[in-house]
Amino acid sequence: VSDLFTIGEFSRSTHLSVKALRHYHDVGLLEPAAVDAATGYRAYAVAQIPAAQVIRRLRDLDMPLDEVRAVLDAAAVGDEEERDRLVVVHLQRMERQLEETQSSVAALRSLLEGSPPDVDVEFRVVPATAAVAVRADVTWDHVEDWLGGAQATLHAALDGAGVAPAGPDSALYATEFFEAHVGEVTAYLPVAGAVDAGAGTEPIEIPAVDLAVTVHAGSFDDLDRTYAALGAFVASRAIGVPGPVREHYVVAEAADPADLRTEVGWPIAPRT
């Protein structure tokens, strides 16, 4: 009466494929209880079944192997709190993905059904502005989170300095951010004069530019349609110049998302 399985028996017992088991061995996620030195045959123990089952369920939930390893490690040292925390964090991530999926479905539907919105484009000559800013290299998938945090930081810093913002929440997006889906983003709040608010912020001057500006009405989910219209406008007139795109979050909170207003400003050559 031994408690060892061949890899095939262990596969049938855990519903993990043999190839997957060998892979988990290779990467050190689930090491067989014994490996025959002569033949290389793997032997698994009954005691390894729970770990295998957890791995299978977490992989069903698309948790990366590195995180699965962290979960097993926490469980192995009896740290149930950490184990549960890691699982919950992953489930929350899935929850958010589900929300994004739902807004993608809605956006797809309006793409397939509706006609493109026509947009009014305004030319605007923008002077240099003093501002307090937070900036970082940000990836596409993390902008929303990052921007929320940066805006909170900016407001808290200005509050602390006793200064009122001289304009709406705004941000600059380097072209690289759109083209490589990772690049510099600058969240800023305009201020009346030079202010050093400290606390992770920096005083900067937002340079003067000429912009083609459109107001996007509604949720950020279909901001892409406004970008498309604005980009087409600029490209067709061949007036684009290098430089970051600006967004001004003119109406950033509303009970009905349809009431949100975002100005998108695309840098263009000065009109002569």
- Residue closer to DNA by CB (options 55, 157) is 55
| Piece of 59-67, 77-85, 93-101, 252-260 that binds DNA (CB under 7 A) | 59-67
Instruction: For residue 95, count CB atoms less than 10 angstroms from its CB and return exposed for 0-12, middle for 13-18, buried for 19 or more.
Output: exposed
Q: Which of 57, 61, 64, 159 binds DNA (CB under 7 A)?
A: 64
Q: Where are the alpha helices (H) located in the chain, listed in sequence order? A: 7-14, 18-26, 49-60, 65-76, 80-113, 143-161, 175-180, 223-237
Task: Indicate which of its own copies, DNA, none lies near residue 38 (CB less than 5 to 8 Å, by partner kind).
Answer: DNA
- Residue closer to its own copies by CB (options 50, 64) is 50
Q: Which of 4, 65, 156, 215 binds its own copies (CB under 8 A)?
A: 4
60 sits near its own copies (criterion: CB under 8 A)? yes
Number of residues that bind its own copies (CB under 8 A): 60
Residue type at 114? G
Q: Which of 38, 77, 105, 112 binds DNA (CB under 7 A)?
A: 38
Distance, CA of 165 to CA of 202 (rounded, Å): 14
42 sits near DNA (criterion: CB under 7 A)? yes
Is the CA virtual torsion 233, 135, 154, 164 positive or negative?
A: negative
Q: Which of 182, 215, 223, 239 binds DNA (CB under 7 A)?
A: 182
Q: Which of 45, 54, 59, 239 binds DNA (CB under 7 A)?
A: 59
For 44, the enclosing helix (H) or strand (E) is: strand 42-45
Q: Which of 149, 168, 203, 231 binds its own copies (CB under 8 A)?
A: 231
152 sits near its own copies (criterion: CB under 8 A)? no
Dihedral, CA atoms, 210, 216, 220, 224, nearest 10 degrees?
-70
